Each structure stands twice: as structure tokens, then as C-alpha cells.
Structure 1
Amino acid sequence: MGLGAVPLDDVDDGDVRGPLRRCIVTRRELPPDDLIRFVADPSGTIVPDINRKLPGRGVWVTSERAAIEAAVKGNAFAKSLKRQVNVSPDLPATLEALFVERLLNALSLANKAGLLSTGAEKVEKLLDGGRAVALLHGTDGSPEGRRKLDAKFAAIQRDKGRDAPIVDWLTIEELSLAIGRSNVVHAGLIQGGATIRFLSQAERLRRYRSGLSAS
């Protein structure tokens, strides 16, 4: 917080605008994209407001599973809202499942938009043509099967001065379900709006699981 800056309140009173919000667990002031907003529904149950559109007074927690667990354990929602609330002990797991669902939906849309190729052979063709902008691997796939693809992708992107995003935190079953094909282990994405949205959702899930500072 800069010199002379006014400390942020814990509760937003329904106004979700502004460049920074304060986490009720860590007390750090962060951009809204690095946090998750929560509101109490009419029954007093705490619900996540992922899209920041729900009415009512809201509180913010750093978008990390560890921070959500700390908020639940420390009764941070009730303390900040200054009222009795109901908080499910499964809230951290529920949020993770929600982020996975959003990521799979984004992948399905990228596939429907014709931006996705599956299978090691087709992915290699994308790489040879210089079209791949991201690779996907089932987290339970063989490391040997991806090593050559990853090395080739990294070299190509390095020569272009670009990042080489690799998403490897979905299972083979999850990839297959989202794409509508069996046994999807490797896939490649080409440039497009749906690819950008998928990578944004992938990063959000990664950071939720690993922490904002994880590389």
C-alpha cells in the first residue's frame, strides 16, 4: 500500500469495482483477478461469486486452496461480515471442482471451434507447421510420451521469443470427456479466442492448487 493510501475494508458493500481488494485471510491487497469473492445467500450460506456479479455485501479471499481452507477453519467469513453464516467444510474442494468444470468447458469450446488437435502424431504436425501455441498432456500419461513433444515445442517457441504453455494438470479421463473422444493423452491448441480463454482458466486452476507464487 502506497504512502497516504487508505486501507481497504474487508467488505465491499456490493461494489466490486476498484483495482485492489483485501484478502480477509492474508490481509494482502491484491487485484480482483487474484482473489475470489464470496457472499452470503438469503439463508446465510457462504457461496462463491466467481464472476463477481452476485448482489449483496461481499468479502474476498486469495484464490488459493490453502487460503480458502484457512478462511473456513478460522471462521473468517463470519468475522468479516459480522454475522452468523453457514460455511460448508467442503468449500475448498467445491471450488476446485468448479474451476475444473470451467476449464473443461473452455476446452470443449476450443475443440468445437476447430482449434484443437489430439494424438502425438497430429500434435507433432502442428509443431512442424509452427501453429501450436499450447500443448496438453494427461497428468496420468507416460512421461516418455510427452518428452519429445515438449522439447520440440519449447525450442520452437524460444526461437520465436514466446512462452511455451503446457497444461498437464488434467487427467486423461477429463481430457477425453471434454473433447468427446476416448483416451486423449496429448493435444495441441492453435491460436484463437477460445484458446486464450482456455489458457486463462487453466492458469486459474493451477494457481488455486499451487498458490499464486508457484511457477
Structure 2
Amino acid sequence: MTRGGGSKTREEPERRCLVTRETGPKAGLIRFVVGPDETVVADLAGKLPGRGLWVTAEAEALGRAVQRGLFSRAANRPVKAPPGLVADVEAMLAGRVVDLIALARKAGEAISGLEKVKAALVSGQAALLIQASDGSARGRSELRPPEGAESLVSWLSGHELGLAFGRDSVIHAAVLKGGLSERIRIEASRLAGFRATGAGAGAAGTDSEVGATAD
């Protein structure tokens, strides 16, 4: 299993993290490109032109890349990595998850409310259980996630989850089996790399010699 990518298969395109040197499915990494002003830009959708610089979807890895100047090393020229890049990417990832859940809601594939979510879980309709990170532990313990890897998403606040449903706050939600559930799972898994351990912007590890794989 790999973060954001589910079970590894031969068909999945892979990239190498410029920090850890580990190779894994693209879904578990974040692509960066160097903009016209020589500033590193996160390309979460993987569609921006230019040579891709890939980093594992974890705050610690990205913080190390910024602090150690690893983007410049991988790009083979001096480039600027904003000191707030880790926090910016975390916010962008959270926004993508919220937007996808909102899209699922509009498509009739996402529901909220304790009783509705409980019914979807019992009936087997739910693909993902989504619970606000600031909800009560007792309330969250009442629901069991669906079977399968990374089926529990608990990295959004009640306010953030509420944005997806047009409310001030939502504590319990579920994404039903359908076309959007896998995309939400992947993006939520990448967000977990920034929130699951409480790692913050500028997290750093030990220095190491690194390389990069471009696309």
C-alpha cells in the first residue's frame, strides 16, 4: 500500500520523490513545476507545462525540500521555493477535497447527518465515511468506516466539511459508491500526509543526498 495510491499495480505510472528517492505511484506524490519567474509552483492536477519535480505527499518531505534547497538541486539551477509552500499546499489540498465532496453532493453521491450516514453505512452504499476532525470522539466512535483501505476521511474540520454541504458546520458525512469516491479518497489521502501527524509548515528532517525523476 502507498499513500494516495491504494494498492500498487504494474499499470500505475510512477515517479521518484526528490527528497526520499523512493519511487511510487503518481497519486501518492505532488508534482511541482518551475514558473516563468523561477518560483516553484504546486501542480496538484498534474497538468501544468514544464518539467515535473515530484515530492511525496507529506509535510515533512516537502518541508525538507524547501529548507534544504532540493528543488534547485533537482532542477539543476537556482529556483525559489516560498517558505510558506508547505502551508499553501496543505490549504490547496484541503480545498480540492472540499470541492470534490461538494461536487459529489450535487451529483447525489454525498450525504450528511448522523442518521443518514449511519443508514448508508449499514446498507453498504457508502464508499467513504467522512468525519470532522473537531467532532466529539464519542460521536465519531458511533460509526464504523466501510471496508477497504483509506475509507475513513477525518482530516477536515467541521467548518471545512460544512463548506461542501453549504452549511456552517458538518460533523458526519459519507460519499456513496460512484464515480467520485475514488478521486476523493486519493485527494484525502494526500491531505492526510499534511494533517494526520500534525506536521506543520516548515517541517524538516535530516539532510540527505537526493535525486529527482522528471516527467
Same fold (TM over 0.5): yes
Aligned partner (choices 159, 171, 175) of residue 185 of structure 1 = 171
Unaligned runs of 5+ in 1: 1-17
- Which structure has more relative contact order (CA 8 Å, sep 6+)? It is 2
Partner of residue 53, structure 1 = 47
Partner of residue 9, structure 1 = none
Deviation at 1:208, TM superposition (A): 4.2
Deviation at 1:83, TM superposition (A): 1.6
Amino acid corresponding to residue 100 of structure 2 in structure 1: A
Contact 2:58 2:190 in 1 (8 A): no
Distance in 2 separating the partners of 1:163 and 1:69: 27
The 3 A distance-change label for structure 1 pair 176 and 48 is same
Partner of residue 124, structure 2 = 130
Amino acid corresponding to residue 202 of structure 1 in structure 2: A
The 3 A distance-change label for structure 1 pair 136 and 42 is same
Distance in 1 separating the partners of 2:177 and 2:95: 22
* SS of equivalent residue, structure 1 residue 148: coil
Partner of residue 44, structure 1 = 38
Distance in 1 separating the partners of 2:134 and 2:72: 40
Deviation at 1:92, TM superposition (A): 0.8
Distance in 2 separating the partners of 1:164 and 1:61: 21
The 3 A distance-change label for structure 1 pair 183 and 58 is closer
Q: In percent, how many aligned pairs have the same letter? A: 41
1:112 and 2:143 matched: no
Contact 2:127 2:177 in 1 (8 A): yes
Superposed, 1:53-72 pairs within 5 Å as 53-72=47-66
Amino acid corresponding to residue 127 of structure 1 in structure 2: L
Superimposed CA distance per residue, residues 102-160 of structure 1 (whole angstroms, 9 cap, x where no aligned partner): 0000000111011222211222222343322221111111111122222xx56xx4xxx
Contact 1:35 1:63 in 2 (8 A): yes
The 3 A distance-change label for structure 1 pair 189 and 30 is closer
The 3 A distance-change label for structure 1 pair 59 and 199 is closer
Unaligned runs of 5+ in 2: 1-11, 198-215
Structure (1 or 2) with the greater helix fraction: 1
Superposed, 1:65-84 pairs within 5 Å as 65-84=59-78
The normalised TM-score by structure 2 is: 0.77
Distance in 1 separating the partners of 2:186 and 2:73: 32
